[in-house]
Amino acid sequence: MEEQFKSYRVWDLPTRIFHWVNVVCVLCMIAIGTTILNAGALGVHTEGKILLKTIHVYVGYVFAANLAIRLVWALFGNRFARFGSFLPIGKDYMKKLFAYGTAEKTGTPQQYLGHNPRGRLAVSVLFAALITMAITGLVLAGTDIYFPPFGSTFQEWVAASGVNPADVAPYVKDNLDPDAYKEMRAFRKPFIQTHVWTYYALMGLIVLHIGAVIYTEIKAGGGIISAMFSGKKVLPQAPEDEKDND
């Protein structure tokens, strides 16, 4: 039987914009973050570290704002952009996950317009990592270089008696209360540890994500990559999530 290809509109414009802005931001932050982590070995001086952290934070603001907009859009976007389409939830989710794996083993992969059941698991883990990076990053921006939204709070915390908190500057310790600064750094420790470990996890997840997209494109087709540019998928058979919407 000859395959009848049909074009479907899937990803709306805000979802596509989020995806590519997120890609650029994450790659930039990984590059800068890797440089910061290896600043000593690379011979980066104090002023250089402050500059790198400042750039890292500004990119982080764009990243966090883009992520926040995407999460709000998951309430208002088209059905493929919403939480129910990319989170592993719903009464039939486990059934769909099992059916997807079974179909793949038999050489007749199921087609999906949105994320397939296995992809929904991966996307959920990715979003969890991105949210963790955003939250911990905003806290660290305040502890390291005293940037908003929490920077002024940390400046007040560590400023020595009689010192204007606004005069507290990165890597300058002669106007700090030593005990308060020590307490602040102790408070900071779990955030930096979580941020760094999530950074390593995110790099692994990115590799897995790219590999899974390529694998699914080869095995099932559908134009997964091109769809994130055009918003459309072209499939040779009725997609499972279109059947659900009938």
Tell me the domain boundaries of the chain: 6-243
Q: Tell me which residue has tokens 């095995």.
A: 219
Residue 214 or 14, more confident: 14
Q: What is the pTM of this model?
A: 0.91
C-alpha of 12 from chain center: 19
Q: Could you tell me which of 25, 55, 49, 29 has the C-alpha nearest to residue 147?
A: 55
For residues 185 and 177, what is the distance between their CA atoms, to the nearest angstrom? Answer: 12
Q: Which of 3-7, 18-22, 35-39, 49-53 has the lowest mean pLDDT?
A: 3-7
Instruction: DSSP letter for 176, please.
Output: B
| Contact (Cβ atoms closer than 8 angstroms) between residue 118 and residue 100 | yes
List, for residues 195-222, the tens digit of each pLDDT value.
999 999 999 999 999 998 888 788 766 6
For residues 96 and 99, what is the distance between their CA atoms, to the nearest angstrom? Answer: 5
Instruction: Give 7's strand partners.
Output: 234
List, for residues 27-74, the tens digit of each pLDDT value.
999 999 999 999 999 999 999 999 999 999 999 999 999 999 999 999
The whole-number pLDDT of residue 238 equals 80
Supply 16's token pair.
């596509």
Q: Could you tell me which of 14, 80, 95, 84 has the C-alpha nearest to residue 224?
A: 80
The whole-number pLDDT of residue 22 equals 97
List, in order, residues 6 or more apart from 181 with CB less than 8 Å away: 158, 173
Tell me the CATH class for 6-243: mainly alpha
Q: Which amino acid is at 96?
A: K
List, in order, residues 6 or more apart from 123 with CB less than 8 Å away: 86, 87, 115
Residue 99 banded pLDDT, cuts 50, 70, 90: very high
Q: Which of 49-58, 90-99, 102-111, 160-169 has the lowest mean pLDDT?
A: 102-111
Task: HSE, CB side, 13 Å, CA atoms: give it for residue 225.
Answer: 11
The whole-number pLDDT of residue 1 equals 41
What separation, in Å, do the N-terminal and C-terminal C-alpha atoms of the chain show? 24
| Contact (Cβ atoms closer than 8 angstroms) between residue 42 and residue 35 | yes
Cβ atoms within 10 Å, residue 108:
10
